Structure 1
C-alpha cells in the first residue's frame, strides 16, 4: 500500500476523487469533504491530500479569493503545514539512513514529485536557516545532508 492510500485511511474527512473541479484546481476542501481531481498522478494526489487535510485542520471559511491578505495567509499556512506532514524531518533522517541521497530517490521515498521535495526543502530553509537539529541528527538543507551527532563520554 502506498503513502497516498495510507493517508486516505487516516484522514478524518470524506475524500472524493472527481474530475468536476474548477479549471486549475487539483484539490478542494469544503465542510469536512475533500475533493481531489481523479486524473492526477498518485504522487500529486498525495501532495494535494496533505494540503487539503491541512485546510481541514487549520483554516476556516471561504478563502478562495486570494486577492485578500487573510486568505493568502491561510493558504500559505496550510501549504507550509502540508510540507511538514508530507516530508517530516524525522523521515528525512530515515531516508538518509536507508541510503537515499539524491532528489529523485527522495521523491520516490516520500512518494511525491521532485518539485514538491524542493518546495519542502525551501520551506525548511526559511523556517530553520541552512541547518537544524532533530534528535541526535543535524540536517543540512543546502546541500541536503544528514549527520549523526555522537557525544563523547
Structure 2
C-alpha cells in the first residue's frame, strides 16, 4: 500500500521525501512535498503517515502546524478521518474478523496499519455511527466492544 500511495502522490505532482525529523513529527506536508520521518521503523507506520499527509495535500489550506487554533485542529482531524476511511474500511474490519483476527493487534496486522491508527479509526467510526453499523446485508459491525455479527438467514 505504501508504494501505491507514493505513486498516487507522484501522479498528483507531490514529492515524497524521507528525512530525519524530531520524534514528535511522523510526517509533514507543505508546498507539494510530503516529508516522512526516517525514524519510523516500519513500512506500516510510513503507510499510515503518507495516507494522512496525502489528505492534507487534497484538503488542507494554509499552515496548520499551530494546533491550538481551532480551524487548524479541524483540518488536522479531517485529514486523519479521511486516511482512516481509506486504510481501515468497515468492510476491511469485517474481513479481518472473518479471517479470525479478533484482537486489535491481529486486526491492525491484517489491515497493515498500526494499532494506534486502528484505534483512531475505530473511534472515528464510533463517533460517526454510534455503537454499531450495518456493513452489508449480512454483517453488523459492533464498535464498542469491537465485534462482528453475521446474520445468517
Q: Under TM normalisation by the shorter chain, which class is it?
A: 0.7 to 0.9
Task: Kindly provide the CA deviation profile for residues 20-74 of structure 1, in whole angstroms up to 9, marking residues without a partner as x.
Answer: x456211111122211011202222111111101111121111112121111111
**Equivalent position to 1:141, from 118, 125, 143:** 143
Task: Number of aligned residue pairs: give it.
Answer: 148
Unaligned regions of 5+ residues in structure 2, if any? none
Unaligned regions of 5+ residues in structure 1, if any? none
Post-superposition offset of 1:6: 3.0
TM-score normalised according to structure 2 size: 0.86
Cα RMSD over matched residues?
1.7
- For 1:46, what is the secondary structure of its paired residue? helix
- For 1:66, what is the secondary structure of its paired residue? coil
Partner residue, 2:25: 25
Larger mean Cα displacement after TM superposition, 127-136 or 90-99: 90-99
Tell me if structure 1 keeps the 8 A contact 2:23–2:39: no
Runs of 4 or more off by more than 4 Å in structure 1?
none
